[in-house]
Chain A
Amino acid sequence: MSTRVGQEILVLRFEPPAELEQLISDPAVPRTGPAVLLVADCIDLDRWRAEPLEPQQAGWTEIALGYHCEARGEPATAFHFPFLLLSGSRGDNGMGLADVELTRFHAACPDFDGPAAGRRVEATARTFAGAPLAEVEATLERAAPGELPAGLLRWVNRVSYPDVTQPGALLDAGLWLVPAQDCEVADEWVGRGSATLGAAIGWSGVVEGEAWHYGTVFTLDAVEAL
């Protein structure tokens, strides 16, 4: 079923330490570029319009740790279980769960006029048990319309489910290509940022790199098995 989605996204692109790369990489999907840490504030626009009295079903946040790759010969970004974590409303799609909060802006703030050079953007994520996943901070430096790195809106996911009959084992639903269709992007800003990854993600340490902040709307429709 087709869904129109809106997202406010903060991305950190960085060269991953070897241990982290090994943790997040899937041998079936080779890394072709930087690692990617994504945090997003999301809304299902169709549901928001259709069910105004159920707004809690339309919004969610997410955090994902992955890497640039290729799928069917085109740039993409790989986010595999358990490194794609959603706050809940879509949490039954073979993904992880996390409590994610990020800097939210409000156009009506008297001293806020949108993304700007020097503006800080932050995000924090933890498991619902409270274990830290990541603390992200970035400082925007310049507007970068049309410069968004290729593949950031075309995703490869290995979808898995914990097997409740065998603790520690996964039910592997395979690799899926998820393209953002009829995509519009705006307010692209680039800067520098860093992330402190917490033990709950499986690797602790600080990474630094190029930060992107942007808004997008797109349609999620057909996903393809890879």
Chain B
Amino acid sequence: MSGGTKTPAPAPGFAAPTVGETLLACVCDLEPGRVAALLPPQLEAAGDQAFIYIVWATLNADFFPVRGRSFVEANIALPCLGPRGEGTWFARAYFPAKDFVRHAYLSGWGGMEAQVEVGRVPHAVQRWVWPPQHAVGGWVARGGRREIELAVTATEPVELETTPLRRFSTVYGVRAVAGRQDVTLELHPEERIVRALRGSADLRLAGDAAELLGPHTVRDGYLLELGIVLGGSASVG
């Protein structure tokens, strides 16, 4: 058979894709013991809190098709102790694209297909309106029903190390795939926090998200911007 065209693989030494992310985040206090009950047995609770994120992100990678370079996601992250110390585990990882949901499943997170909307501002417009001095928000809906609505008003610069989100980018997974049960860790060879602002959050949960977290008290809201060199994932335990 002839006439086919082999798709060229990335050349050796090809630069790893980078991603820029903007997170709207809030911290919630949960009932004592709730996090421990939700975490997989391989991870230990590191507090009775949950972190809610709604994210827009852009892969700076010319070899990706244009439609694949921008994405949104939302997460319910739980603080935990894993094989590499303090981190988080995504009890829910919401994506509007099936391939990302599959990635979440393969990473050992609670992947869910959902509609995710967030108040993204085009890069070239940000010089006039960013960072925002008002609430910026987004929502997550499944089956047409909004399960998370989050609006964050964050204007006070904050040292992330002093906040509950200090290890937000250390993300563990616990997978049970092809007979293998292990703990994964997303790798970021380079990571930089470009902006961290703290303020207030307005959070409304419904449906599965509300049932998952149970009674909760909303604490601070955050707006985070970060850049990451993607390094894939590793099995760490």
Contacts and interface: CB of A to CB of B under 8 A. Distances in A.
Contact of B125 (A8, A56, A106, A108): A8
5 contacts: A52-B119, A101-B67, A106-B58, A107-B225, A213-B124
Interface string B67-84: 101100000000000000
Contacts of A8: 122-125
B158 interface: no
B67 A103 contact: no
Contacts of B60: 105-106, 109, 111-112
A44 to B, nearest CB: 11
A157 interface: no
Place the interface of chain A in its size category.
Answer: 35 or more
A109 to B, nearest CB: 4
Interface string A3-17: 000111100000000
A55 B128 CA distance: 18
Contacts, number: 131
A43 interface: yes
B123 A55 contact: no
Nearest to A59: B120
Interface in B108-137: 117-129, 132, 134-137
B121 A6 contact: yes
B124 A186 contact: yes
Given A110-B190, A124-B67, A52 B227 contact: no
B19 interface: yes
A58 interface: yes
Contacts of B138: 53, 55
B226 interface: yes
Contacts of B136: 48, 52, 55
B194 A108 contact: yes
B contact patch SS: strand
A41 B123 CA distance: 9
Contacts of B20: 105-109, 112
Nearest to A120: B62
A37 interface: no
Contacts of B18: 109-112
Contact of A108 (B22, B65, B127): B22
Given A122-B66, A215-B127, A52 B22 contact: no
Nearest to A106: B20
A197 interface: no
Place the interface of chain B in its size category.
Answer: 35 or more
A109 B125 contact: no
A42 B126 CA distance: 12
B69 A103 contact: yes
Contacts of A122: 66
B52 interface: no
Given A103-B69, A105-B60, A123-B66, A52 B135 contact: yes
B92 to A, nearest CB: 19
* Pairs A-B, 6 closest by C-beta atoms: A106-B20, A215-B124, A6-B125, A52-B137, A8-B124, A55-B119
A101 B67 CA distance: 6
Nearest to A6: B125
Given A106-B58, A112-B60, A53 B137 contact: yes
B125 A101 contact: no
A140 interface: no
A55 B58 contact: no
B29 interface: no
Nearest to B119: A55
B66 A107 contact: no
A41 B149 contact: no
B70 A58 contact: no
B192 interface: yes
A104 B70 contact: yes
B197 interface: no
A43 B194 contact: no
Interface in A196-226: 213-217
A221 B22 CA distance: 31
A59 B228 CA distance: 26
B106 interface: no
Nearest to B115: A56
